[in-house]
Amino acid sequence: MKESEIKYHIQMKQGDVGRYVLLPGDPGRCDLIAQSFDDAKLVASNREYRTFTGMLLGEKVSVTSTGIGGPSTAIAVEELIQIGADTFIRVGTSGGMQPEQIPGELAICLAAIRDEGTTMHYMPPEFPAVADMATTLAIREAAEKLHVPYRVGITQSKDSFYGQHQPERMPIADRLQQRWKAWKMGGAICSEMEASTLFVLGNIYRKRTGGVMLIAANQESKDPNAGVVEKLDDVIAVAIESLKILIEQDRRAAGK
């Protein structure tokens, strides 16, 4: 690949992003996240892919939106890897799955249930979608440092938003509801649409991946007053602090 080659979907080339990349789904959240960078600049905006690049602790870092779901996430991650990125943290929102979870808490994802179709084009279904341990520990350390409530566990990555929230409308309602019950009984802590794709690609290409999601709502909550939390300050702060921790670790490992 020529260094000057612009990748078709993300519309960027080598040098446009840092090795460390945060991955929200919503393009509008890139602008919000980039406010935590030093000297952030808009690099590209095409389709669902919007990217800012700036600095943290003197290192180049970026934020790129992936759009919703596995297919667009896979495209973003594939092309970002091709132009030099090697560390990815999914930053987004999710729905809680355990009744005791409180909207506003964070979910730090160890692994993901591959309840989607994208990763079946990469690996057989028996292959697990697992985050990088060092990245996951950095996210946990960041949450502890910032005193943000969190829990660590498994996320369900699915393809259909309404298959989760209105399964009774679907011709396969019984199957959807049975599987949801199984994920809950197995201890899954949240449901979203992108983490499994990121984790599988990270393992295939030997790149570091992690995920931290805001529990924006919890349809399983026993609290009648539990509502929707849309404030992203905590999840963004934890993601930014996680990158700082990884940057410092990488510098020590390199003897800098």
Residue 1's pLDDT is: 53
Q: Which domain holds residue 90?
A: 20-253
Q: 131-187 pLDDT, tens per residue?
A: 999 999 999 999 999 999 999 999 999 999 999 999 999 999 999 999 999 999 999
Q: Give me the CATH number covering residue 91.
A: 3.40.50.1580
Is 40 a member of any domain? Answer: yes
Mean of per-residue pLDDT scores for the chain: 95
Residue 67's pLDDT is: 98
- Number of domains observed in the structure of the chain: 1
Q: How confident is the model at residue 229 (pLDDT cuts 50, 70, 90)?
A: confident
Q: How far apart are CA 235 and CA 211, in angstroms?
A: 10
Q: How far apart are CA 199 and CA 209, in angstroms?
A: 6
DSSP summary character for residue 7:
P
Residue 224's pLDDT is: 63
H or E element in which residue 16 lies: none
Q: How far apart are CA 148 and CA 10, in angstroms?
A: 33
Whole-structure pTM value: 0.96
Residue 114's pLDDT is: 98
Can you give the C-alpha Rg of the chain in angstroms?
Answer: 18
Contact of 210 with 132, CB cutoff 8 Å? yes
Three state DSSP letters for 221-241: CCCCCCCCCCCCHHHHHHHHH
Is 171 a member of any domain? Answer: yes
Per DSSP, the three-state class of 157 is strand
**Mean pLDDT on 214-240:** 88
Q: Kindly give, in sequence order, each residue whose CB lies less than 8 Å from that of residue 193, ignoring residues fewer than 6 positions away.
A: 25, 68, 69, 70, 116, 157, 158, 159, 161
Is 3 a member of any domain? Answer: no
Residues 168, 173, 175, CA angle at the centre, nearest 5°?
A: 150
Contact of 135 with 179, CB cutoff 8 Å? no
Is 35 a member of any domain? Answer: yes
Q: 46-66 pLDDT, tens per residue?
A: 999 999 999 999 999 999 999
Residue 54's pLDDT is: 98
Contact of 65 with 23, CB cutoff 8 Å? yes
**Mean pLDDT on 212-228:** 84
**Mean pLDDT on 234-255:** 97
Measured in whole angstroms, the distance separating CA 208 from the mean position of its chain's CA atoms is: 12
Nearest Cα to Cα of residue 56 among 87, 27, 26, 77: 87
Is 189 a member of any domain? Answer: yes
Is 182 a member of any domain? Answer: yes
Q: How far apart are CA 80 and CA 76, in angstroms?
A: 6
Residue 24's pLDDT is: 98
Residue whose pair of structure tokens reads 């802590």 in the numeric block:
189
